[in-house]
Structure 1
Amino acid sequence: MSEVNLLTFGEPLVMFASQDLNLSLTDSTHFRKLLAGAELNVAIAAKRLGIGTEYVTSVGNDLLGIYIKKSISELEIGTHYCYTDETHQSGFYFKQRVSQGDPSVYYYRNNTAAANFSQNFLEDINFTGVKALHVTGIFAATSSNNFKVIQKLLSLAKAKNIISFFDPNIRLPLWDSKELMVESLNSLAQQAEIVLPGISEGKLLTGLKKPSEIADFYLKYSNRTRLVVIKLGSKGAYFKNINGNQGYISGFQPPRVVDTVGAGDGFAAGLISGIIENLSIEQSVARACAIGALAVSSASDNGGYPTRFELERFMEKVNEN
């Protein structure tokens, strides 16, 4: 196994993306099969930057599961911990194609293989050389079992001195109630070193409005959290760490806007890569913003993520202007 710097856990999904512009999913008849899933998007974006990455999950022993594992392997992302579940199916969803705004999506992910990820699998994982762990609220929301898996992972990261990143990535339909979601996601955030909500997520989870107030909420009520980075969409991002260092990083103008899905995951990968490489917070957040801008230029959830060369060229060109 090649050196692994990043571990990310999640539910991979097969996306059937409509090719019929501005038609409803009901009326669409032409679809393209693609790989999707928030945490997998992060793995793809990180790998394109040259970060050794292992993706941990369970898939069904079905056509979609075989496609998922084959596609991940072709992307040169580690599949050593991509387990096959003989009794549960793989998840998938349909995605509308629109000329503007957010597309409609429809999920089939109830009681999937990933939702039944065995906690016993954690004993198989070799954490040697791993520098970062990335988890989200999506995987935690798929089942009570997976919520415990995330708790255990964050505990392991602390014990093994691995930097833990937590993205709330709110998917309200996956939770039994808004109250349970808020309580659960905030409890997981308190166990992570680096928390990166979107501004709307931060407002919903804390009841606060200003980025500085949201950051203080997570920094003050956790003995573990040392950095909060709040995504502000096209405006960039705000960060604050445990030492009081804070600031705004301006967003980058994307080449074009095709689809905003996956931008936050690209942002996460950029931040993770910068932290792993010991860049300053400002440099890491700027890299995150740049990848987020490039991500929206593709109709695929993860097709717009740049290579390192493409990223550096994009950032240099913006700085020149």
Structure 2
Amino acid sequence: MNREASGAGTPDVFTFGETMVALRGDGPLRLGGAMTVSVAGAESNVAVGLARLGHGVRWAGAVGDDEAGELVLRTLRAEGVDVGAAHRDPHAPTGLILFEARLPEVTRVHYYRSGSAGSRLGADAVERAFTAAPPRLLHLTGVTPALGEHARAAWERALRLARDHAVPVCLDVNFRGRLWSRRVAGAFLRPWLPYVDVLVASADELPLCLPPDGPAPDPEEQADRLLGLGVSEVVVKLGAGGATAYGDGGAPVHRPAVPVRAVDTVGAGDAFVAGYLSALLDGAGVAARLERAVTTGAFAVASRGDWEGAPTRAELGLLGGEDDVLR
């Protein structure tokens, strides 16, 4: 469904999370030099990717009442994302992330987000943004509940609202070891799996969602166990190996990665999710959803930045991807 078809004020997708000002250098930070200024955040990366593909997206994160926060909102607004429900926090700053290029394929990331506005987003603000016009789909990541008790409560409220309004949920596990341990993340996420319709995870994130008992099964067995816990669909990102989707009553569906020259892998997972959800909203089947996802992921890998390389719908065929019926 495109933006015009979604109806005035009714988004295709509702999401929220912390978006930070992003500074990118060309070499070691200790040597100084010029840096480019942009914004970055897992959920807003997906929001931009979906907006470029023609979908209506509402983002309801929190930023500081500062110039950095204005940059975040201005950037998302310019990309067609609805930020009318975003909150400006006068008591906390907008977070900061620094990207340090150390080797051609190695980028170090430094976060300055402790006590940030994004970590203080309230559950009531999320409820107001959600119920103002319930979306067709709710997208969450595992980053937000790791930010602190306020963000965690907002995340939980969103899941309950989605259940109350019969809105499907996509959860990208997106584990961040700097924010919480695998043990804590797994203990928190597992009880919420029955609320999730589409679970997206890399192969090494799947065990986080399963009870830590017995020998670790292979990804197909893990996906089957997750389906048994109530998840409708499990999508496993395999990096250069492509992706595989598992669902009830059908054989696994796999699509290889689209071959491109890798420039920057940051944001590739978010671009993948945007492509998958876009095709899902269009009513495409699993194979076509994976095809669009690996295509949008390839655009991200071939471009610098978290979201800057995300394709428009008209550009999807540039890598030799989709059938015309899906464009």
Q: CA deviation at 1:214?
A: 2.0
Q: Is residue 67 from structure 1 mapped to residue 75 from structure 2 by the alignment?
A: no
Match of 2:24, SS? strand
**1:275 alignment partner in structure 2:** 280
**1:296 alignment partner in structure 2:** 301
Match of 2:234, SS? strand
**1:39 alignment partner in structure 2:** 43
For the 8 Å contact 1:236–1:250, the answer to whether it is kept is yes
For the 8 Å contact 2:64–2:88, the answer to whether it is kept is yes
Q: CA deviation at 1:142?
A: 0.4
Query: Which of 113, 118, 121 is equivalent to 2:117?
Result: 113
For the 8 Å contact 1:172–1:181, the answer to whether it is kept is no
Cα distance in 2 for partners of 1:121, 1:3 equals 17
Letter in 2 for 1:239: A
Cα distance in 1 for partners of 2:323, 2:13 equals 28
Compute the TM-score of the two structures, normalised by the length of structure 1.
0.91
Q: Do the aligned partners of residues 28 and 186 (structure 1) sit closer, same or farther apart at CA in structure 2, a change above 3 Å counting?
A: farther
Which whole-Å deviations, capped at 9, do the CAs of 1:210-229 have from their partners, x for residues lacking one? 2212211211123xx20000
**2:236 alignment partner in structure 1:** 230
**1:11 alignment partner in structure 2:** 18
Which whole-Å deviations, capped at 9, do the CAs of 1:106-143 have from their partners, x for residues lacking one? 10000111111111113322453621110001011101
Cα distance in 1 for partners of 2:134, 2:160 equals 17
Cα distance in 2 for partners of 1:102, 1:318 equals 34
Q: Is residue 138 from structure 1 mapped to residue 143 from structure 2 by the alignment?
A: yes
Letter in 1 for 2:268: A
Q: Is residue 251 from structure 1 mapped to residue 257 from structure 2 by the alignment?
A: yes
How large is the RMSD of aligned CA atoms in angstroms? 2.0
Letter in 2 for 1:143: G
Query: Which of 154, 160, 184 is equivalent to 2:159?
Result: 154
Letter in 2 for 1:226: S
Which whole-Å deviations, capped at 9, do the CAs of 1:38-58 have from their partners, x for residues lacking one? 111000100010011111111
Cα distance in 1 for partners of 2:193, 2:48 equals 23
Cα distance in 2 for partners of 1:128, 1:285 equals 29
Q: CA deviation at 1:166?
A: 0.2
User: Which aligned segments of 4 or more residues in structure 1 are displaced greater than 3 angstroms?
Assistant: 126-129, 203-209, 315-319
Cα distance in 2 for partners of 1:109, 1:243 equals 43
**1:217 alignment partner in structure 2:** 225
Cα distance in 2 for partners of 1:273, 1:30 equals 36
